[in-house]
Amino acid sequence: MSFSSKLNKAIQSTGSCLCVGLDPVLNQIPSGVVSSGLSAAGKAEEFCTNVIEATQSLAAAYKPNLAFFENLGAEGLAVFERVLQAIPKDRLVIADAKRGDIGHTAKQYAEAYFERFNVDAITLNPLMGFETLSPFLDNSDKAIFVLTRTSNSGAADFLDQPFNNYSSMAAYIASNLRTLQQSSNAHCGMVVGATQPQKLKEVLKWHPKANLLIPGVGTQGGSVEELKEVLEGHKGIPIVSVSRSIIYPSSSYASQQSYYELVREQASQYNFSLKHLISDQGYVKT
């Protein structure tokens, strides 16, 4: 099954293009939300597993961010692997790794994430050149999401600057990804942030069939309503990633069970708002 087909199926199953970000930060996990006596790695694993259980009927995809697992030290990748196993097989897994390197090194990353960990997609940084993407492009059931116009303010330093006769480096990246897609088996998607939607129209026109990974909704301030307008006419499928607003919904709760009920409630609210996004735009065909 192609990546886009699996994505379409997951969205039909959940009714929404919600992606839950898994960013376990130990000092943000309230006391009592995980079992006592666990190691740092054990707490992160149990927390992520409980979040997945609470949201699995509402999220079409999950996006574990590698930084938060690497920060656990030697056990981190083992925890990452076990968390992946807890995600239902009919949901998409996007490794938020932001890798970007040349030749032999990029090949090792591709084998690690697509073969060893068997994720469906990975985020990549293209600034060492488009050749760095090549090792990830062989399989039609996989996807890359390339940093194109990110949600952080630092995007203005490079991605918003005019580049090579394009209005911005982001537009240049998008145009090259569209060209690369013609010879790629894997889907060449884009990471575009929701925090400055006015910046996206010019970017999306250069790669109009790209599936999109969209961070920035929720804690960072991005608006679903503004996304609707920006995405009008775009033919790729949006995947809207929400992390902190879902997994850290409140520091006030009655019990471990009630905390994860709050997580589910937050996910349900985003699921509902994003349901209207995909239905209004007509992305997913039943």
DSSP assignment of 206-264, as one string?
TSTT--EEE--BSTT-B-HHHHHHHTTT--SPEEEEE-HHHHS--S--SSHHHHHHHHH
Instruction: Tell me the C-alpha distance between 270 and 241, whole Å.
Output: 10
Instruction: Tell me the C-alpha distance between 49 and 84, whole Å.
Output: 9
Alpha-helical segments (H) within 114-212: 155-158, 169-181, 201-204
User: CA nearest 213: which of 24, 63, 8, 97?
Assistant: 63
Q: Which residues are catalytic?
A: 98
Distance between start and end Cα atoms, the chain:
17
User: CA nearest 140: which of 187, 93, 181, 182?
Assistant: 187
Beta bridge partners of 21: 63
Structure tokens at 226: 């503004």
